[in-house]
Structure 1
Amino acid sequence: MAEAQKNLIKMKNLFLISLVAVILSSCCDKTQEVNTLTKEEKADGWQLLFDGKTTDGWRNYGKTTFPDGWDITEDGTLHCPGSGRGEAGGKDRGDIIYGDKKFGNFHLKLEWKISEGGNSGIFYLGQESDSLDYIWKTAPEMQILDNEKHPDAAAGIAGNRQAGSLYDLYPAVPQNAKPAGEWNSVEIKVYKGSVWHMQNGETVVEYHLWTPEWNELVAGSKFPGLNPTWADVASEGYIGLQDHGDDVWFRNIKIKEL
């Protein structure tokens, strides 16, 4: 009788252990699908800018239609195929913007992956006009780069053209970008002129627009000779993704207005 009770207790313990394992496994395996929002994110005011299936809301910079050169891959990423022509891009290509709305104070999140030796960028507070051919002439840029193989990584000052940096102005510190072919998680926060770049979980850039320090920094960069009013960045504008002639992929693009 005692032996039977012991066996029964063992069976009950094994059952409980198995049940707990199943519950834990279910919780751990329940990862969020790409290009979706959780209930908590929806309640907190986040909105998707890319659903992984359509290009709704997106268009060519300075145009009304989405370029044929960009595509959506089978695994739900927004992809700019390489043209081998650098910033000149290719026919029916070019930078794209989320053209449905301008954003002022916001928190932007997305993931990017760059090809070997590749270059791209994320623009914010961008403007359009008949006299402008590129969004970078009005917008700050969070750099996307293969730091190992693209020559721009060694250009500029103190690494300010490497991944995560405010291009040609503030370097990303620490420099924690993952190698070409791997996904990087980034965030950009803008609030009343204060700006933060986050890369792979760390704040790598922090600055403030329109201050004397900002004006002095811009004056010593490549921008004044290209567009003398570049320092006067707008208080709200478009989110943009760059076609720099290299393969680059984006996913999980979401934004929350602050």
Structure 2
Amino acid sequence: MRTKFSLLFFSLLSMMSCKQENKKEEPQAWRTKKMALANETHNQLLEVEKEQGWELLFDGKTLNGWHLYNNPDADSVWEVVNGEIHSDANDESLMAGDLLTDNAYENYELTLEWKIASRGNSGIFLNVQEKPDIPTAWQTGPEYQILDSEHMDYKLPAKRPGCLYVFAPQENAVEMKSGEWNSTRIKQVDGKVEFYLNGVLTGEQDFNDPEWKKMIAATHFVNYPEFGKATQGKIALQYWYFETWFRDIKIRKL
């Protein structure tokens, strides 16, 4: 009897020990994930990215390398808050306008993350020609559309996020993440552009194709002589009366 009792006792003791070990593993895994999220880094380049030729377009602290379109010295709506470029839509004393890179780019790959307020509208303009006689960036630069899912235009095919605004619907269907960070990748080589939203190809266009001129002629952009003509230029973040946030803005020349 003692032998059976001893075996039963040690068996129960072993089971209890295993349960305790399992209980210990779960908190450890939880802490590891929590620590990873807590130590998440932004606006930095990995060593492998540096080797691949990536550069930061936003240092996470200042707006160095950026300026307000046609008004570089203005006290504008754009600011840096918590390592993010933010558009302040609440202070009407600030100068409104699009935020533009100091430098122009031709063949490149651009990546960034963005978040937008409910019902908000924004975009990324490419090949912008900054001239005193052209009032806004969108009068020259085609747009990668940024739009919140609560915006009234969200269901319009040619105005969905990730689209080449007004010209074509998403090439592959994908949703933006409302209230969360979304990822954008834009690639342009010899005037051929590719748009990606959250890892999905959403648009393609060749700005050198004669068909592109016909596409422009079929829209209101036909009223703006410089629109869509260039295959190099500055990159702009659109301001359109709603708060937007941008981070991890990186570019490499191709």
**Fold match (TM-score > 0.5):** yes
Indicate which of 242, 248, 253 corresponds to 1:246.
242
Using the TM superposition, give the Cα deviation of residue 29 of structure 1 relative to its aligned residue in structure 2, in angstroms. Answer: 3.3
Contact kept, 8 Å, 2:145 with 2:164, in 1: the verdict is yes
Letter in 1 for 2:86: H
Equivalent residue for 1:179?
Answer: 177
Equivalent residue for 1:152?
Answer: 153
Contact kept, 8 Å, 1:109 with 1:254, in 2: the verdict is yes
Matched, 1:82 2:95: no
Contact kept, 8 Å, 1:55 with 1:66, in 2: the verdict is no
Partners of 1:172 and 1:208 in 2: how far apart? 16
Using the TM superposition, give the Cα deviation of residue 96 of structure 1 relative to its aligned residue in structure 2, in angstroms. Answer: 0.8
Indicate which of 225, 228, 232 corresponds to 1:228.
225
Q: TM-score, normalised on structure 2?
A: 0.82
**How big is each residue's C-alpha offset from its partner over 1:32-69, in whole Å with a ceiling of 9 and x where there is no partner?**
51111000001110000111111111100012236432
Structure 2: 5+ residue stretches without partners: 1-20
**How big is each residue's C-alpha offset from its partner over 1:184-239, in whole Å with a ceiling of 9 and x where there is no partner?**
101000000110001101111111112122111111122002x034242x121001
Matched, 1:97 2:100: yes
Structure 1: 5+ residue stretches without partners: 1-13
Indicate which of 210, 214, 217 corresponds to 2:215.
217
Letter in 1 for 2:217: A
Contact kept, 8 Å, 1:83 with 1:90, in 2: the verdict is no
**How big is each residue's C-alpha offset from its partner over 1:86-115, in whole Å with a ceiling of 9 and x where there is no partner?**
xxx86412111011x110000000011010
Letter in 1 for 2:225: P
User: Aligned Cα RMSD in Å?
Assistant: 2.7
Using the TM superposition, give the Cα deviation of residue 152 of structure 1 relative to its aligned residue in structure 2, in angstroms. Answer: 2.6
Contact kept, 8 Å, 2:139 with 2:227, in 1: the verdict is yes
Partners of 2:148 and 2:41 in 1: how far apart? 26
Equivalent residue for 1:42?
Answer: 50
Equivalent residue for 1:9?
Answer: none
Contact kept, 8 Å, 1:114 with 1:181, in 2: the verdict is yes
Letter in 2 for 1:167: Y
Which secondary structure does the structure 1 equivalent of 2:62 belong to?
A: coil
Larger radius of gyration: 2
Partners of 2:186 and 2:253 in 1: how far apart? 12
Using the TM superposition, give the Cα deviation of residue 176 of structure 1 relative to its aligned residue in structure 2, in angstroms. Answer: 1.6
Partners of 1:223 and 1:147 in 2: how far apart? 25
Equivalent residue for 1:7?
Answer: none
Contact kept, 8 Å, 2:78 with 2:99, in 1: the verdict is no
Q: Tell me: CA distance 1:115–1:222, structure 2 relative to 1, closer, same or farther (3 Å).
A: same
Q: Tell me: CA distance 1:199–1:90, structure 2 relative to 1, closer, same or farther (3 Å).
A: farther
How many residues align? The count is 230
Q: TM-score, normalised on structure 1?
A: 0.80
